[in-house]
Amino acid sequence: PTLWDHVAISTQRVFLGFALGAVVGLVVGAALVLVAGLVALNAVEQRRLAARVAAYAAVPGTVPTLDAPLDEAWSERGEQVSRAGHLVLLTDRDGTTVRAVDATSGAQVWSLERGGAAPVQRCLADREAERAPVVVCARGRSDGGPPGTVTRVVLDAADGTVLRQYPAHLASHGQAVTGRDVVSAEMGEDGSLVVVRSRAVDRATVWATRVPLGGGRQAGSGAGVLRVENGFVVLGGSTTAVLDLADGRVLGTWYPGGYTAAGSVPGLDGADIRTAPDGFGAWSDAAAGARGASGTWFDRSGDPVGALDGVLVEADVSDGSLPDVRLSARGDTGELVATDLAAGAELWRAPA
């Protein structure tokens, strides 16, 4: 090759180098622009999220965003763990001691030791109160008592002082504590379920109500389950009932139509009951396992208000601006449905 050929080849290499450099520069520049754009977009999204959190900061139940690792406040071990207002109750593995610790700090407030040969079985307190006034514990069979008899111990939740202890029957169909009272359900001699609200300390009866049982006995997967919530007493089982906590009035009773439990096969519950401060709902189909169950909503007096398409899925946090709107979910279609009960109309439905 001639001198001019070498010059041409060198010139091509130089131009090729410049071209590759330009391309690499463009790619790097584009990548930097993309990264800068993503950073800017993320910053904008963070500001939007912070603004949304700030807008709902005053709504009870909301917490800051979980954008950082959680710090463990405290840790304790317990075989049984339950909440009692501002306290957490921990039962040791051998059942000999119940310890009450502060829910915020984890500091021990008081403890209840074994009061005899029988271990402590269970402690109950008002689950809805910010500061439970009393804790009611049941020790094993009282000395010389018949089967099913326990020693009931009533403690001051503030410091663990024993206010009263006395022999008492185990509630065969559930027990709960509300304020300073005990609500229990037991089988009556006439075949009905007797629900009693009494004072925990002096045992004075506030009210007593009989609930007739379908088929003369209580079965179902919810048998023996009693809940006190939102001012209602809810009895689970093949006879499902809702009572007014204030006076014991029966607001509704449900039975599984035509179903009879046999042998060890569990029976169906009468209904699935969900409560709220302004009323309660009953879903009979849901208790039978139907995925697309519809239910009926009742007001606090037990009068029907309207129908809900799907099972209640009320949000845990709400600003209360739409008190008549209820959310429900259909298990068969996967839809979330909003219903205005006051207007008796469906507002919208969307994929859940």
- Per-residue pLDDT tens over the stretch 52-71: 777 777 666 666 666 677 78
Those residues with Cβ within 8 angstroms of residue 46's Cβ, 6 or more apart along the chain or in another chain: none
Read off the pTM: 0.75
Asked if the model's pLDDT at residue 243 lies above 90, the reply is: yes
- Per-residue pLDDT tens over the stretch 183-194: 999 888 887 889
DSSP for 32-98 reads: HHHHHHHHHHHHHHHHHHHHHHHHTTTSTT------SPPPP------SEEEEETTEEEEE-TTSS-E
Are 336 and 349 contacting, i.e. CB atoms less than 8 angstroms apart?
Answer: yes
How confident is the model over 22-39, as a mean pLDDT? Answer: 55
Joined tokens for residue 226: 């009693």
In whole numbers, what is the pLDDT of the chain averaged over residues? 79
Between the alpha carbon of residue 106 and those of residues 74, 82, 102, 129, 311, the distances in Å are 6, 14, 5, 19, 37
Share above pLDDT 70 across residues of the chain, in percent, rounded to a whole number:
72
Place 100 in a pLDDT band, splitting at 50, 70 and 90. very high
Are 151 and 129 contacting, i.e. CB atoms less than 8 angstroms apart?
Answer: no
Asked if the model's pLDDT at residue 89 lies above 80, the reply is: yes
How confident is the model over 324-339, as a mean pLDDT? Answer: 86
- Per-residue pLDDT tens over the stretch 14-24: 444 555 555 44
Sequence-separated contacts (24+) of 278-281 with Cβ below 8 Å: 278/323, 279/305, 280/230, 280/232, 280/234, 280/242, 280/251, 281/308, 281/312, 281/326
Asked if the model's pLDDT at residue 35 lies above 70, the reply is: no
